[in-house]
Chain A
Amino acid sequence: MDSLRLGTYTFSSRLILGTGKFSSTSAMIEAVRVSGTQLVTVALRRFNSQQAEDDLFGPLSAIEGLTLMPNTSGAATAKEAIKAAHISRELSGSPFIKVEIHPNPHHLMPDPIETYEACKILAAEGFIVMPYIPADPVLAKRLEEVGCSSVMPLGSAIGSGQGLATAEMIRLIIRESNIPVIVDAGLRSPSEACAAMEMGCEAVLVNSAVAVARDPAAMARSFAKAVEAGFEARNAGLMPRSGAAVATSPLTSFLGAAS
């Protein structure tokens, strides 16, 4: 597979995994390993003595070839997101930052204004900026212009499993974008990830669909295959769609000839 380029990094896997909502750290680590993903998101939280054993930074750091992409979840403003980015870079050493600013807990929709302000500053500071955004083609272009390394439009609300509800908007974003478009949020099934790749996305980010599956490792493997399939299909050139039938077999009418 051609490599995915983000900032100065190249990845052979086009599946990005989130690490939240798994039943245990070991379940998450297994899913990460089995999927072949090379980029995972993590969040910042306050240290808690009781939860010290649940550290996932150590186990993730032990996986060869894995890069961390901290997110700014919890931030309600650009200022808070920038602060989270600085702390995350300090802790992880990774230049990646997923700018994720969603102040409303009911729908978790990203704030486009705070996101734009944060991205402008973080891109200028040299971060590899990956903004989580509504599927808005104008916003996507503005973010490209201020130096984001990709745009990550949502398929539907985080964890909702509603799939590619924004498909047509994502098509518009892809059409105009010079940077990778990565669908992030709301995907439920591998077929949806495949469809996103066929559409022209350069990668997909999946969390709940894997973490909440009955067998997360198997689901992660399935998503990895689907992402590869969709990417290859797109490169292979999908046939055109037609309103009418276009025959695949000859229609010579000899069968009804009088003898």
Chain B
Amino acid sequence: MSTIGIILNGERKEVPAGASVADLLNSVGAESQNVAVVVNERIVRPDARASMLLQENDQVEILVFAGGG
């Protein structure tokens, strides 16, 4: 299977070519309703994650809420 390189949370990562954003979330153990996803500075809503396919050099941020004042 061929892979593509993306940048996930600031680090280079290889993912299978044709992987969707939803596939990526599954592979890192993220629960879709508890995370925000930003790809190339654009927010990707939960209902768009299964159909959005990752491209070479995509900058992906997976974000959660943490404690804060």
A residues in contact (CB < 8 Å) with B = 18-22, 25, 28, 41-47, 49, 52, 54-58, 60, 68, 70-71, 73, 83, 86-88, 90-92, 158-159, 185, 205, 207-208
Contacts and interface: CB of A to CB of B under 8 A. Distances in A.
Given A18-B68, A58-B34, A185-B69, A47 B62 contact: yes
Contacts of B9: 46-47
B28 interface: yes
A71 B69 contact: yes
A46 B63 contact: yes
A36 to B, nearest CB: 19
B65 A43 contact: yes
Contact of B30 (A47, A68, A83): A47
B1 interface: no
Residue of A22, A46, A52 with highest tally of chain B CB at under 10 A:
A46
Interface residues of B, number: 22
Contact of B63 (A45, A58, A158, A205): A45
A43 B64 CA distance: 8
A55 B64 contact: yes
Interface in B36-69: 36, 38, 41, 43, 45, 61-69
B68 A20 contact: yes
Given A47-B30, A49-B29, A52-B29, A87 B65 contact: no
Contact of A87 (B38, B67, B68, B69): B38
Contacts of A42: 65-68
